[in-house]
Amino acid sequence: MNIEGTKNIVDACIQNKAKKLIYLSTVHIIDPKKHGDILCEPTDFNENKVVGTYAKTKLVATKYIFDACKEKNLNATILYPSGVIGPYDYKISELGQVILDYMNHKLLAYVKGGYNFVDVRDISDATISAITSGKCGEGYILSGEYMSLKNLLMTINKKLNRKKLPPKIALWFVRMFASLSNLYYKLRKQKPIFSSYSLYTLNANSNFSNEKAKKELSFNPRDVKESICDAVDWFIKNKPEKVNFKKLHE
């Protein structure tokens, strides 16, 4: 879907002489390099430098758009969001599932790691801005700020007036059972809390630079703590059937 669906849309844009295409790619197609390295918009699209089917397919799709800009006069701007967080999580994303599970006391432990998160509303604002301000054949990283998984849970604790965190368990121990966990959740048609890929992501370099987006798209990401608290409020109001209200403030 990431590849063929994108190709179909690009080809239709070219055939119908569309004025502008805005494509939401992902920071996962960027080579993470070493911890501490600043990660900017990609110029090298090498499938062997990224991990996971999602990243590889998005990389192929993104390269197809850039090639179309150069070779077929497509007017397109590419956006690279980092870890998306915040309200309006209707289908419940993997991160949304983590928040819900923690709200319901189903997250019995956490692991070392974290990621760069950005609010979905800020991505929407940047997407609108890219229509008029995004340059043809250019990409823009839409990143927010890094937050460890521990601090994410502590933010929810403060929001719900909780005091204790679940125990922290060794990363090697969780990795040992990750494959079985993936299979278990797949059979139950549920999103895994800690999949092999999410464990990799939580401990990969996510030091993304959003300076280009700030300068050219007036991108101004909000505090990620606000995004987390708004996500909690949104789930309580809009997904009450998913929330265990009896244990919410325990």
Q: How would you class 214 by CB atoms within 10 Å of its CB: exposed for 0-12, middle for 13-18, buried for 19 or more?
A: middle
Query: Is 122 part of any domain?
Result: yes
Quote the radius of gyration of the chain (alpha carbons, Å): 19
Q: What is the rounded CA–CA span in Å between residue 148 and residue 144?
A: 13
Q: Which residues pair with 216 in a beta bridge?
A: none
Query: Is 45 part of any domain?
Result: yes
Q: What is the pLDDT of residues 71-93, one digit of tens each?
A: 999 999 999 999 999 999 999 99
User: Nearest CA to 24 among 162, 124, 159?
Assistant: 124
Q: What is the pLDDT of residue 184?
A: 46
Query: Is 249 part of any domain?
Result: no
Place of tokens 């403030």: 249
CATH number for the domain harbouring residue 237: 3.40.50.720
Q: What is the rounded CA–CA span in Å between residue 57 and residue 50?
A: 10
Question: Bigger pLDDT: 30 or 36?
Answer: 30
User: Would you say residue 18 has pLDDT above 90?
Assistant: yes
> Structural domain tally of the chain?
1
Two structure tokens written together for 114: 């974290």
Mean pLDDT of the chain: 91
Query: Is 248 part of any domain?
Result: no
Identify the weakest region by mean pLDDT among 66-70, 187-191, 197-201: 187-191
Q: What is the 3-state secondary structure (H, E, C) of the chain?
A: CCCHHHHHHHHHHHHCCCCCEEEECCHHHCCCCCCCCCECCCCCCCHHHCCCHHHHHHHHHHHHHHHHHHHCCCCEEEEEECEEECCCCCCCCHHHHHHHHHHCCCCCCECCCEEEEEEHHHHHHHHHHHHHHCCCCEEEEECCEEEEHHHHHHHHHHHHCCCCCCCECCHHHHHHCHHHHHHHHHHCCCCCCCCHHHHHHHCCCCCECCHHHHHHHCCCCCCHHHHHHHHHHHHHHHCHHHCCCCCCCC
Q: What is the pLDDT of residue 190?
A: 59
Query: Is 30 part of any domain?
Result: yes
Q: What is the rounded CA–CA span in Å between residue 164 and residue 167?
A: 9
Percent of the chain with pLDDT over 90: 73
Domain that holds residue 126: 4-242
Mean pLDDT of 37-65: 93
Query: Is 247 part of any domain?
Result: no
User: Would you say residue 180 has pLDDT above 60?
Assistant: no
